Amino acid sequence: MSDAALIPSLQSQALSREIERQFRNETRDVIAAAQHDVSAITAQARGAARRRVHEAIEELRREGARRLAGAKAQFETEQRARAQRQAARAVADGFPLLCEELESRWRAPQSRRQWTNAVAQLCALRLRPGAWLVEHPADWGAPEQRDFAEVIRKKEGVDISFSPVGELKSGLRVKADQAVLDATPKGLLADSRSVAALILDEIEQE
């Protein structure tokens, strides 16, 4: 083959090699760009997935906290209701026992004397001078009545009379004008709230 015929062949081969080189370079660049895009997309996907997982975990925690708070509130409500029922039963059981104890103290001479002396001192402090009527059980005798009057002797302007009342089994009821000092068991326990508070306080101390 002559040199003139060989030149076009060489040029064609050189052009072919250049095209192949450019193709390889472009392919490499495309693959690199694609890999970069894939890496970026994968990283974004992992980040989004982590955020979703984190949000899901936080929601689970919040839901767990809400349920725990609700359960705690319900438990505390039930505990308070249970405590209130127990307190109500204790008070209901305590009132008859207090009445029995007061009746028993009235029947014992020494504690009855303490009771009547305390009533006499209270009358001297709270009741106005005038005619006082002391209502009492039928078996409260004259000697104890004299002792009662002796406690009040120093208060001027008091005229004491005694009257047995069949319905009274224990305690005294003193009437002075419009005022009444009721020191019978019923009168002593009339302030039910205060008595209930005392019963519950006694239970807590025990």
Three-state SS string over 57-81 comes to HHHHHHHHHHHHHHHHHHHHHHHHH
Question: What's the confidence (pLDDT) of residue 10?
Answer: 62
Q: Which residue has the tokens 């001297």?
A: 124
Which whole number is the average pLDDT over 77-90? 75
Arithmetic mean of pLDDT over the chain: 82
Q: Is 184 exposed, middle or buried (0-12, 13-18, 19+ CB in 10 A)?
A: buried
Inform me whether the pLDDT recorded for 6 exceeds 60.
Answer: no
Question: What's the confidence (pLDDT) of residue 178?
Answer: 87
The pTM score is 0.56
Residue 146 pLDDT grade (very low, low, confident, very high; cuts 50, 70, 90): very high
Per-position DSSP letters for the chain, written without gaps between them: --HHHHHHHHHHHHHHHHHHHHHHHHHHHHHHHHHHHHHHHHHHHHHHHHHHHHHHHHHHHHHHHHHHHHHHHHHHHHHHHHHHHHHHHHHHHHHHHHHHHHHHHHHSHHHHHHHHHHHHHHHHHHSPSEEEEEEE-TT--HHHHHHHHHHHTTSTTEEEEEEE-TT-SSSEEEEETTEEEEESHHHHT--HHHHHHHHHHHHHH-
Residue 42 pLDDT grade (very low, low, confident, very high; cuts 50, 70, 90): low
Record the tokens describing residue 41, joined without a space: 């997309």
Which whole number is the average pLDDT over 130-136? 95
Which of residues 151 and 28 earns the better pLDDT score?
151
CATH of range 109-205; options 3.10.180.10, 3.30.2320.30, 3.40.50.300, 3.40.190.10: 3.30.2320.30
Which of residues 190 and 163 earns the better pLDDT score?
163
Question: What's the confidence (pLDDT) of residue 43?
Answer: 73
Question: What's the confidence (pLDDT) of residue 4?
Answer: 53
Question: What's the confidence (pLDDT) of residue 113?
Answer: 93
* Structure confidence by residue, pLDDT tens digits, 160-189: 999 999 999 999 999 998 899 999 998 888
How much of the chain exceeds pLDDT 90, in percent?
A: 33
Inform me whether the pLDDT recorded for 16 exceeds 80.
Answer: no
* Structure confidence by residue, pLDDT tens digits, 49-59: 678 777 878 88
Record the tokens describing residue 64, joined without a space: 């767990």
Could you tell me which of 86, 81, 80 has the C-alpha nearest to residue 203?
A: 86
